[in-house]
Amino acid sequence: MAGQGAGTIVVPVGRRPGAPAPFCGRLSAENRGACCASSHCFRCKRKLASAIASAGKGRLDLAVLLSAGKYRMLSKWCRVALGFGIMLATAACSTGPDPILPVGSAAYEVIPEGNVFAPRRVEIGPSDTLRVTVFREPDLSLDSVIVDPDGNIQIPLLGTVDAAGLTAAEFGRDLERRFATRFLVDPSVTVAITQSSQRQVTVAGAVTQPGVFEIPGRISLVDAVALARGPTNIAKYDQVVVFRRVSGERVGGVFDLGAISAGISPDIEILAGDQVIVGTDGLKQAYRDALQAAPLLNVFQTFAVLSDSNNNNDNSPSN
């Protein structure tokens, strides 16, 4: 716009009656803190707040107020409030998932959909708790035994036995073979994983109860979010990120939970060790955080009252 100094940014906030341009004040590199002589800027507080909110959605350029007419200096606290609003909206613009992460069909190539009802191999690992039952041999049975960091457990008569990397059924057959070799005739051994340290998933972000949860069997993305009591009212359903370790590398994808819940997009299987992060509506979150700390509109309303009272004093006839 003609007449603006370099670096001047503009926020349209309404037209002042009689002003040649549709702006109510000016704050630029040349006129620091300058404003129109009346309290019009403060009366535009709602429009200003609306403009700041719109800027967070990328519809407007954040700026300072431009006007024609007489100028006066804004108060220190008004400048602080305006700067806070600009900072708030700018921060809101930068929220959202990492743009490097694949979205849509590309996300399903990194983290494919899965049949959560199909059987899946569950292996014994360090820190898992097992129950070992030897039929008709209570002295050889173990109600609870923890797998050590090396993947071993202590079994009566057998000593140290490696269990890591085997399923419960495979480990049971291995124990049967070991007992039959030296101690028992036709033994029958049942092994169960009663608690698995590896069967955990992390759910964070805009969920009601974020945390680390035990996976009750095979679960999907929708099931994982349900473990955390579901999304909050500021959640972005189309910005749900899933991180996973694949061949030692951390990969991830962005999924649309709303489309999955509606049956439009396929669900994915959540594996042990996955991290699910439900995104937030950055603008709404930023506004809520800001209003809890120092209500922006209330700040401008306070300035409006102060400005109106000052103008009334300026316009009152002197004795």
Number of other residues whose CB lies within 10 A of the CB of residue 147: 21
Both 160 and 220 in one domain: the answer is no
Alpha-carbon distance values, 92 to 190, 223, 233, 236 (Å): 56, 29, 17, 14
111 and 250 fall within a common domain: yes
One digit per residue, the tens of pLDDT, for the chain of length 319 reads: 444 444 434 444 444 444 433 334 444 333 334 344 333 444 344 444 444 444 444 333 333 333 333 334 444 545 555 555 555 544 444 444 444 666 666 666 666 655 545 556 778 888 889 999 999 999 999 999 999 989 999 999 999 999 988 999 999 999 999 999 999 999 999 999 888 776 789 999 999 999 999 886 778 899 999 999 999 999 999 999 999 887 778 888 889 999 988 888 898 888 888 899 999 865 455 445 544 544 434 433 333 333 444 455 555 554 4
Q: Does some domain include residue 266?
A: yes
Residues 138 and 229 occupy one common structural domain: no
- For residue 29, being part of any structural domain is answered with no
Q: Say how many CA atoms lie within 13 Å of 196 toward its Cβ.
A: 20
Shared domain for 113 and 220, answered yes or no, is yes
Q: Is 6 a domain residue?
A: no
Shared-domain flag, residues 288 and 271: no
CATH classification of the domain holding 156: 3.30.1950.10
**Do residues 221 and 159 share a domain?**
no
For 233-291, the pLDDT digits (tens) are 999 999 999 998 877 788 888 899 999 888 888 988 888 888 999 998 654 554 455 44
Task: For residues 212 and 274, state if they share a domain.
Answer: yes
Q: Is residue 206 part of a domain?
A: yes
Tell me the β-bridge partners of 220: 269
Instruction: Tell me the CATH number at 212.
Output: 3.10.560.10
- Round to whole Å and give the CA distance between 155 and 299: 71
Residues 113 and 149 in one domain: no
Give yes or no: residues 156 and 300 share one domain.
no
Q: From 82, 100, 88, select the one nearest 56 (Cα to Cα).
A: 88
Q: What is the pTM of this model?
A: 0.42
The domain boundary residue, chosen from 173, 195, 217: 195
Is 28 within the bounds of a domain?
no
Quick one: tokens of 254? 């962005």
Domain region containing 60:
34-94+284-315
Q: What's the structural domain count of the chain?
A: 3
Q: Does residue 214 share a domain with residue 273?
A: yes
| 25 inside domain | no
The verdict on residue 292 lying in a domain is: yes
Residues 309 and 184 in one domain: no
Q: Last residue of some domain: 171, 195, 219? A: 195
Does residue 227 lie in a domain region? yes
- Cα distances from 296 to residues 42, 65, 77, 104, 218, in angstroms, run 13, 17, 12, 37, 47
Look at residues 157, 173, 195 and tell me which one is the last residue of a structural domain: 195
Q: Are residues 136 and 276 in the same domain?
A: no
